[in-house]
Structure 1
Amino acid sequence: MNQNLFASFNIPAILGIPLVILIIMLPATFITPTNNLINNRFSSLQQWLIQLMLKQMMITHSTKGRTWSLMLMALITFIALNNLLGLTPYAFTPTTQLSMNLGMAIPLWAATVLMGLRFKTKLALAHFLPQGTPVPLIPMLIIIETISLFIQPVALAVRLTANITAGHLLMHLLGDTTLTLMSIYLSSSTITIIIIILLITLELGVALIQAYVFTLLVSLYLHDNS
């Protein structure tokens, strides 16, 4: 039994060399190339899902915003596959690392903000000061809006990290409880086994939903600045 509850979130290494890069690259091997002469069911399902998500995200974007289509599809695929990777036995989930999620959120957020400042300068600056604000409240509102702007990438990363980590911790605790009950009273562990199966099903949905939420929020930031 694992004595350290957070040991599963440590980055695995061999001979002191971190394996996180190889782990992050592993899910990409499950993506089927779209230039096959003969499509199978998996590749057809993959293309249908990509087209469906692309339509949902790009329907309200301008021409400049639609240039981000490839980036957003690559982002949601990358996060979803890494989230699902963590649900396999003895696997490491890269998206439980806040540093990695911040590394994705900050550049994407900064790119949308810079795009807004370049193409919609007046509108982007107008967000810092709502129309009709009393003069004495202007400095305070500018500070509040600035803080809320800079907290957006942190909220993106923390949301993804917290949701994935919480599910893994809960499964870890229930797994330890089941092993303990099986050694004491076998029939009493049946309930916890059923709960674990239901929790794994829930975590499959959470893994996909969190990837969609992360990408959708980036898409919304893009929509506001493009």
Structure 2
Amino acid sequence: MAASEGMNALRILLIEDEARLANAVKQGLVEEDFSVEIAGSAEAAGPIIARGALDLIVLDLGLPGKSGLEMLREMRAGGVQTPVLILTARGLLEERVAGLDSGGDDYLTKPFAFAELVARIKALARRPRAPASTVLKVGELEFDTVKRRAKIGEQTLNLSPKEKMLLELLMRNAGQVVTRDMIAETVWDSNYNSLTNLIEVFVNRLRQKVDPGADRSLIVTVRGVGYTMRAE
């Protein structure tokens, strides 16, 4: 299927730390009428993935900081079902198996022919995707992403729209650190004033609603960085 036959709407995130390669691949994919964003690390990719508007992720395993393999495992554990094409210089059999076992959908080793990359992207786009669950769960806490309803057991929580956005972001990234920048970009977009303590206020308000009478909070402050939700 050519890009002009329905593939041109594909939104792709390329996670690659080699700037020259990333820019060259992006240029080629844009010429194929794909929409492409670049992230140079797992940390930079986090806010983009959290927005949940991607059709495909092209992921290098040899990233600075958190490895691509570690990031892939955390994504799948957190319920992210976006197809992932692993693009890496690591071509040994056991490395390919590890990538696929960790949640990768396809594997392409460097150096590669650009035409093959495009063909694999189109093949993944044609592949039927299993419907992802619309309900996020962490312990007894549940959040229905369609009905926008949160509850603990049978008790429905009274949350504001922004509290629901914050809760969804934390639950989608349970077990991982969600930075203040990620929260500001996802919940407030360009309207957030970094000089205020608005994020702390909303997190504390959400914590009081999510953890009434609990021995320990589900939402943990990571001092100087952001917050994480215990993956229980």
Q: Could you tell me the TM-score, scaled by structure 1's length?
A: 0.25
Q: Larger Cα Rg: Structure 1 or Structure 2?
A: 1
Q: Determine which structure has greater relative contact order: mean sequence separation of CA pairs < 8 Å that are 6+ residues apart, divided by chain length.
A: 1
Q: Could you tell me the TM-score, scaled by structure 2's length?
A: 0.25
Higher helix share: 1
